[in-house]
C-alpha cells in the first residue's frame, strides 16, 4: 500500500514539474511573439531608437557647442574610443561572466534568487546581466511598484537574448555606456567623462573609470559631486572587483598601464605622508617601479638587494597604507630586484611544495663557500657537504654516504647556522644535479599544507609531492611534536623516502631525544642516521663571520669595530650579521663612517630587540604587588582583603594572558583550586571592559613586564 502511495506522489511531482516547465516555455514564447507585454519589432532591435546631441566642432578640433533635441546631453562614442579600464571595470562589477552567457547569466540569476529572494540577503547581489540592463534602458518604461517590475523582468530576459543575437558583445557594452544617465546633464559616457573629469572616455585613468562604473549602481547615491566619501568607497569596491576578476595582472602589456596609474597615486600618498622624510622618499620609495598586482600582492621593482631590504624593513607598512588608501583593499608588498628576480608563476599554491629559488642574493649567500667554519660547527659542515655530494659521480663510497648520513639531523639554538647549512646543501645539489627534485619546507609549512590537503580532500596530491622527492629538507621539525595526525603523515613519508634511498635532512632547535610528545617510532627513525649539533661560535669564528659579512656588503670595518661586535654578540650569528647590515644602512643613509660608537649603539638596539627579559611568575607577582600596595606573599595567601583579592585576580589574568600558563598551572602556583582560577580570570576580563582605570593599571603592569 505504501509503495502505491509513494509512486502516486512521485508521479504527481513530475506532472507538476512538467506543467511548470510547459508554462514557462509558453510564457516566454508568448513574450517573444508580443502576445504578452511589449516586444519591440526586429527593426527596432536592430536599430534601437536613440537620440544623440549634435556637436559643432572648430577646424582645430575644439567643441564650440552641443545641441540636443531633448534634455539628454548624450554624445555618441565608439567602442574603440573607450578606455580598456572602463570596459574591464564594467564587466568585473556588473557582469563578470559577460563573455560566457547569451543574455542571461543562469548562475548569477540562481544566486540572486536564493540569496535575495529566499534568504533575504540585501548583499546577495543581483542577477541582471549588462545585456538585461541595456534592455531595460532601451525598452522598459518606469514602474511604480514591485509587482510591475517583476512582470517586466521576463520581458527583459527575452529582449536581452534577442539583443545578443543582433549585436556583438562590444556593441552591447558600447550601447550601454552611451545610454546610461550619469546625472548633471551627463547622459552617456562621453558626456560623463567630460562633466566629471574634463576628459574623453579614452583618457580616463583607472580610478576615474572605476568611479563612473560605480555610479551605474545608483548615479544619485554614488555621485562624486554630492557624496564624495560615499563615491570613493564605491570606487574602491569596483577596483576590488577588478582585482578579483584578474584584471590587475602582470607583465608590461596593456594591464600594466592600469597598475602604473595605481602606483602613481601610491607615490603621491607616500610623498605627502609625514612619516617619511623627503630624502627617505627620494632614496627608497621614488626609485621603485610597478610590476604587477596579483592575488592581492603588489609586486614592485628596485635596483639592488640592499635597497629592497631597506625599503621592506623601513617602509613596508607605509606602502601597504598607501595601496589601501588608493585601492580600497589591503595588499601585501613584494619587492624584487630588476634583471635578477622574477615571480615564479608556479609559486606554492594550496598544497604545492615550495622548491628553492636561488635567484636572490640571500639564497646565493647561503652556500658552503660563505659558511664560516669553526669548532662549534665543523662536524655539521662536514656532514652537510657529504650529503650534498652523495649523488656525485666521483663519490667513492656512495653506499656508505647513502646510509650513514640518512637522515642528517642538525640541531642547536636559533641563529647558529642550521638553516644556512640546509640551504647550502640545497644550493649545491641544485647546481650539480638540476634533475633531482628537492623539497625544502618548514615543520610549520608541512603542517599547514597537510591541513589544506585534508580540507580540500587532496591528500593524494600531498603524498605525491613529498614522497617522490630526492631530497626532503624540513626546517624546525620539532613543530610537529604533539600533533598526532602530522606525525602520522611524516612517519609514512619518512619511511617511503628512506626505503627508496632518498636523502632526508632535518633541523631542530633541540636534540631530537629531548623533543617532548614526539612518537617513539619517529625517534627510532631519527637514530638511523647522524645527529650533529651546532653551538655558539667562539670569538675567532665570530670575528671571521663579521669580516665575511662586511666584505659581502663592500663595507670597510676597522679591526676595532669588528672586535667590539664579536665581543658583545656571542650567541647568535643572525645578530652578528644584522649588526653589520645596520651599519651598512647607516653609512649609506647618513654618510657617516663606521665607528665604535655607531657599532655600540646598534649592538645595544639589537640586544634589546632580541633578548627581552624573561617574564617569570615572580616578576608578575612583584609588579602586581607594587601596583596594588600589597606583597607577593599576600597574593599567594588566603587573605581576602579587597585590595589583596583584586591583586590576586589580576595576577591570575596575567599568568594566563601574558605568560600563557594553564589554569591548572596557575592553581598549583597559588595553591588554589584550578576551577576558581577560571572564574577569577573571567571576572577580570569583564572588569577590564567596564573599568578604564583598572585597564590602564593592568596595561602599565604589562608594559613594565615587557620593557624591563
Q: Residue 582: which of 559, 611, 613, 607 has the closest Cα?
A: 607
Residue 18 pLDDT greater than 60, yes or no: yes
Cell numbers 617619511: residue: 276
Cα distance between residue 468 and residue 531, in whole Å? 24
Q: How far is CA 371 from the centre of its chain?
A: 33
Contacts 24+ apart (CB under 8 A), 168-171: 169/98, 169/99, 170/79, 171/79
Residue 399 pLDDT greater than 50, yes or no: no
Element (H, E) at 698: helix 692-707
Q: For residue 695, what pLDDT is reported?
A: 85
Residue 349 pLDDT greater than 50, yes or no: no
DSSP-assigned beta bridge partners for residue 301:
289, 336
Cα distance between residue 599 and residue 604, in whole Å? 9
Give the single-character DSSP code of 473. E
Cα distance between residue 629 and residue 706, in whole Å? 21
What's the sign of the alpha-carbon dihedral 132, 136, 202, 214?
Answer: negative
Q: What radius of gyration, in Å, describes the C-alpha atoms of the chain?
A: 34
* Per-residue pLDDT tens over the stretch 44-70: 555 565 545 555 455 555 554 554 444
Residue 635 pLDDT greater than 50, yes or no: yes
Q: For residue 257, what pLDDT is reported?
A: 47
Strand 289-294 and strand 63-67: the pairing is unpaired
Q: How confident is the model at residue 359 (pLDDT cuts 50, 70, 90)?
A: very low
What's the sign of the alpha-carbon dihedral 380, 383, 387, 393?
Answer: positive
pTM summary value: 0.40
DSSP output for 50-96: ----EEEE-TTS-EEEEE-SSS-------GGGS-HHHHHHHHHHH-T
* Per-residue pLDDT tens over the stretch 403-438: 678 888 888 877 778 888 888 888 888 888 888 888
Residue 111 and residue 127 in contact, taking contact as beta carbons nearer than 8 Å:
yes
Residue 650 pLDDT greater than 80, yes or no: yes
What's the sign of the alpha-carbon dihedral 177, 178, 180, 184?
Answer: positive
Secondary structure of residue 471 in the 3-state scheme? strand
Cα distance between residue 681 and residue 648, in whole Å? 10
DSSP-assigned beta bridge partners for residue 506:
409, 474
Q: For residue 116, what pLDDT is reported?
A: 52
Does 212 or 583 have the greater pLDDT score?
A: 212
Q: For residue 273, what pLDDT is reported?
A: 84
Does 185 or 252 have the greater pLDDT score?
A: 185
For residues 69-97, average pLDDT = 76
Cα distance between residue 401 and residue 596, in whole Å? 47
For residues 441-453, average pLDDT = 79
Mean confidence (pLDDT) of the chain: 75
Element (H, E) at 628: helix 617-628
Q: Residue 336: which of 364, 308, 313, 311 has the closest Cα?
A: 308
Amino acid at each position: 500500500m505504501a509503495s502505491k502511495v509513494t509512486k502516486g506522489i512521485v508521479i504527481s511531482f513530475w506532472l507538476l514539474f512538467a506543467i511548470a516547465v510547459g508554462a514557462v516555455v509558453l510564457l516566454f514564447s508568448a513574450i517573444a511573439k508580443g502576445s504578452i507585454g511589449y516586444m519591440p519589432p526586429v527593426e527596432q532591435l536592430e536599430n534601437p531608437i536613440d537620440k544623440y546631441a549634435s556637436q559643432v566642432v572648430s577646424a582645430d578640433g575644439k567643441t564650440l557647442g552641443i545641441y540636443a533635441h531633448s534634455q539628454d546631453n548624450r554624445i555618441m562614442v565608439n567602442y574603440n574610443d573607450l578606455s580598456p579600464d572602463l570596459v574591464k571595470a564594467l564587466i568585473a562589477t556588473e557582469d563578470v561572466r559577460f563573455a560566457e552567457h547569451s543574455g542571461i547569466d543562469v548562475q548569477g540569476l540562481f544566486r540572486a534568487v536564493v540569496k535575495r529572494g529566499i534568504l533575504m540577503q540585501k548583499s546577495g547581489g543581483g542577477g541582471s546581466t549588462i545585456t538585461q540592463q541595456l534592455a531595460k534602458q532601451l525598452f522598459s518604461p518606469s514602474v511604480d511598484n514591485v509587482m510591475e517590475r517583476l512582470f517586466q523582468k521576463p520581458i527583459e530576459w527575452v529582449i536581452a537574448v534577442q539583443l545578443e543575437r543582433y549585436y556583438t558583445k562590444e556593441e552591447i557594452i558600447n550601447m550601454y555606456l552611451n545610454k546610461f544617465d550619469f546625472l548633471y546633464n551627463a547622459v552617456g559616457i562621453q558626456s560623463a567623462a567630460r562633466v566629471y573629469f574634463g576628459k574623453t572616455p579614452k583618457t580616463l585613468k583607472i580610478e576615474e573609470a572605476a568611479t563612473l562604473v560605480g555610479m551605474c549602481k545608483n548615479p544619485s547615491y554614488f555621485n562624486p559631486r554630492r557624496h564624495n566619501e560615499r563615491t570613493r568607497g564605491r570606487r574602491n569596491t569596483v577596483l576590488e572587483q577588478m582585482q578579483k576578476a584578474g584584471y590587475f595582472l602582470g607583465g608590461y602589456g596593456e594591464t600594466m598601464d592600469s597598475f602604473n596609474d595605481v602606483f602613481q597615486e601610491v607615490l603621491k600618498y607616500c610623498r605627502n605622508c609625514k612619516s617619511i622624510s623627503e630624502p627617505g622618499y627620494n632614496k627608497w620609495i621614488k626609485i621603485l617601479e610597478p610590476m604587477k598586482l596579483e592575488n592581492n600582492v603588489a609586486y614592485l621593482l628596485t635596483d639592488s638587494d640592499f635597497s629592497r631590504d631597506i625599503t621592506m624593513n623601513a617602509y613596508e607598512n607605509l606602502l601597504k597604507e598607501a595601496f589601501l588608501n588608493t585601492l580600497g583593499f589591503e595588499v601585501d608588498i613584494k619587492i624584487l630586484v630588476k634583471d635578477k628576480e622574477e615571480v615564479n608563476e608556479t609559486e606554492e599554491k594550496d598544497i604545492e611544495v615550495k622548491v628553492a629559488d636561488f635567484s636572490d642574493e640571500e639564497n646565493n649567500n647561503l652556500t658552503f663557500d660563505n659558511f664560516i667554519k669553526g669548532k662549534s660547527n665543523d662536524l655539521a659542515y662536514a656532514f652537510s657537504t657529504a650529503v650534498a655530494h652523495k649523488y656525485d659521480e666521483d663519490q667513492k663510497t656512495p653506499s656508505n654516504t647513502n646510509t650513514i648520513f640518512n637522515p642528517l639531523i642538525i640541531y642547536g639554538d636559533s641563529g647558529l647556522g642550521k638553516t644556512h647549512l640546509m640551504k647550502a646543501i640545497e644550493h649545491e645539489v641544485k647546481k650539480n644535479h638540476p634533475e633531482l627534485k628537492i623539497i625544502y619546507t618548514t615543520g610549520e609549512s608541512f603542517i599547514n599544507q597537510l591541513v589544506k590537503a585534508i580540507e580540500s580532500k587532496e591528500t593524494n596530491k600531498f603524498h605525491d609531492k613529498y614522497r617522490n622527492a630526492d631530497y626532503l629538507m624540513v626546517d624546525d621539525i620539532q613543530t610537529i611534536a604533539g600533533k598526532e595526525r602530522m606525525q602520522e603523515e611524516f612517519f609514512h613519508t619518512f619511511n617511503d623516502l628512506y626505503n627508496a634511498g632518498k636523502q632526508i635532512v632535518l633541523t631542530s632547535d633541540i636534540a631530537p631525544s629531548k623533543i617532548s610528545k614526539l612518537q617513539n617510532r619517529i625517534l627510532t627513525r631519527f637514530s638511523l642516521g647522524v645527529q650533529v649539533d651546532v653551538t655558539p661560535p667562539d670569538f675567532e669564528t665570530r670575528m671571521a663571520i663579521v669580516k665575511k659579512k662586511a666584505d659581502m656588503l663592500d663595507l670597510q670595518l676597522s679591526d676595532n669595530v669588528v672586535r667590539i661586535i664579536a665581543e658583545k654578540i656571542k650567541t647568535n650569528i643572525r645578530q652578528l650579521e644584522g649588526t653589520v647590515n645596520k651599519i651598512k644602512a647607516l653609512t649609506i643613509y647618513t654618510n657617516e663612517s663606521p665607528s665604535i660608537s655607531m657599532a655600540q649603539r646598534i649592538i645595544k638596539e639589537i640586544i634589546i630587540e632580541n633578548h627581552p627579559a624573561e617574564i617569570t611568575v615572580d616578576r608578575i607577582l612583584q609588579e602586581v604587588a607594587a601596583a596594588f600596595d600589597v606583597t607577593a606573599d599576600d597574593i599567594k595567601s588566603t587573605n581576602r582583603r579587597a585590595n589583596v583579592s583584586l591583586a590576586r585576580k589580576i595576577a591570575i589574568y596575567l599568568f594566563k594572558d601574558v605568560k600563557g600558563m594553564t589554569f591548572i598551572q596557575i592553581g598549583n602556583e597559588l595553591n588554589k583550586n584550578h576551577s576558581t582560577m577560571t572564574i577569577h580570570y573571567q571576572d577580570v576580563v569583564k572588569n577590564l571592559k567596564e573599568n578604564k582605570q583598572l585597564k590602564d593599571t593592568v596595561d602599565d603592569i604589562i608594559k613594565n613586564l615587557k620593557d624591563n
